[in-house]
Amino acid sequence: MVGNLISLTLNGRKRKVEAGRSVLAAARQFGIKIPTLCYHEALEPVGSCRLCVVEVTSGGRTRIMASCVTPVEEGMIVRTDTPRITEIRRTIARLLLARCPKVEIIRRTARELGVKVTPFPKDNEDCYLCGMCIRACAEIAGVGAIGFANRGPKSHVEPPFGQESNVCIGCGTCTTICPARTFDLARVFARKSMHKAAEGKETLRCTICEDHYTGA
């Protein structure tokens, strides 16, 4: 069902898009490339990687907004390709490249933005904290077994208090969705969460992974 259409200007061209969509979705609809590292169509957007920033003019003010969490508005003027936007995206790419120099999706995104080197000392993290695993666990699996622990540069993903999770069902949604291909179920699973849940119960054995599950 097509909702109400509203008009906005995208990179100088008048466009009509469905009301309620995000600027990112609208831009992609018309083939405009906007890089993202924390956006996934199946998940609620959080606007945390900030790579998808665009310049938005509405109500006489021009602001830099994350397009994935900015809803389209009638009369809005959006520019996705100004020098300022390019500079912000490149800086973010340099920061992420320094954090995760070996993660393929970061390397590729940086390359596409024309960033080959980073001026910052390199770490060797495998996770860039997009939080897709956390959102997938809560929103898709409906479980919420993992979350962010700690703050700032020390943030990392783990079950509450780093203890074994007694709610994880071992579904693997987190590992499947991880764009860095680094989220290992072992981080939650090694703590025997599902096995624990299955203890003493009538369980079936999975024909693929040989693990137990408590289904009918």
Residues 140-169 that bind another protein (CB under 8 A): 147-148, 150-155
Task: Find the radius of gyration of the CA atoms of the chain.
Answer: 21
The nearer residue to another protein, 148 or 214, going by C-beta atoms, is: 148
x/- letters, 13..52, toward another protein (CB under 8 A): ---------------------------------xxxxxx-
Residues 167-196 that bind another protein (CB under 8 A): none
Question: Tokens 């995000």 map to which residue?
Answer: 22
**Does residue number 71 form part of the binding site for another protein (CB under 8 A)?**
yes
Q: How far is the CB of 198 from another protein (least distance, A)?
A: 29
* Residue type at position 200: G
Strand order in the sheet with 53-58: 13-18, 5-10, 77-79, 53-58, 61-66
Residues 86-125 that bind another protein (CB under 8 A): 87-88, 91-92, 95-96, 98-99, 119-121
* Strand ranges for 11-52 from DSSP E: 13-18
Closest CA to 127 of 75, 181, 79: 181
Q: How far is the CB of 91 from another protein (least distance, A)?
A: 4
